[in-house]
A and B are shown apart, each in its own frame.
Chain A
Amino acid sequence: DAKTTQPTSMDCAEGRAANLPCNHSTISGNEYVYWYRQIHSQGPQYIIHGLKNNETNEMASLIITEDRKSSTLILPHATLRDTAVYYCIVRVETGANNLFFGTGTRLTVIP
């Protein structure tokens, strides 16, 4: 599985867009990019995933560069409840999909 690199921590002002970067320069053609987050004292929560194209859902947008070596998760209007650790994971889509969670980015949304 491709290794991912994320900043250890980031701050974002409430109401502004939070842009969380992830580098995955060794990603292979059949590996997807997944994003999860973990709010304090809770289990991780799936946010979004993508292969090549940009993706958007009710929670966030995922922008993947054309060479697929990096991606950015965008929370368009961050709220205090978005304070969490965000994990970028690169993995082949298989049936029993065990995911490797690294240490992620701790996002703090500031009032």
Chain B
Amino acid sequence: DVKVTQSSRYLVKRTGEKVFLECVQDMDHENMFWYRQDPGLGLRLIYFSYDVKMKEKGDIPEGYSVSREKKERFSLILESASTNQTSMYLCASSLLFPNSYEQYFGPGTRLTVT
């Protein structure tokens, strides 16, 4: 079974703190994704990566950065957390080809910024 793990299920941080969310997948997938999910807005793509050290902006990249130093690991960084970044953060991975549509998701990290 594909496993996508995220470093924390729940996280509470203060405004202005630097926050790291870690994601690891064990299936040698090329693609990795970070989404956030908010009530009424569905899932929105923040960033994705199709290779080590490569990254592409998604729909809402402002206030976030990412790092992919190893194929299996994709980190989401909030440089200076703000209350409007309180959300559920979901990581996913997929093959590049074929079946790139089949994304495997982690359990999510619920981040609260106070």
Query: Which chain A residue has the least Cβ–Cβ distance from B41?
Result: A103
Interchain CA distance A41-B105 in the complex, whole Å? 12
Closest to B50 in A: A96
Q: Any chain A CB within 8 A of the CB of B90?
A: yes
In the complex, the answer to whether B107 meets A95 with C-beta atoms within 8 Å is no
- Chain B count of residues within 8 A CB distance of the other chain: 30
Number of interface residues of A (CB under 8 A): 24
**Given A93-B100, A95-B96, A95-B100, A45 contacting B42 (CB threshold 8 A):** no
Contact between B43 and A101, CB atoms less than 8 A apart: yes
Q: Contact string, B45-66, partner A, CB cutoff 8 A, digits 1/0?
A: 1001010000010110000000
Question: Hey, which bits of chain B sit against chain A, CB under 8 A?
Answer: 4, 30-31, 33, 35, 40-45, 48, 50, 56, 58-59, 90, 92, 94, 96-97, 100-108
Jot down 14 A-B pairs with beta carbons below 8 A, ordered by A: A32-B101, A41-B107, A43-B106, A43-B108, A46-B103, A46-B104, A87-B42, A96-B48, A96-B96, A96-B100, A97-B31, A98-B48, A101-B35, A103-B41
Using a CB–CB cutoff of 8 Å, the interface residues on chain A facing chain B are 32, 34, 36, 41-46, 49, 87, 91, 93-104
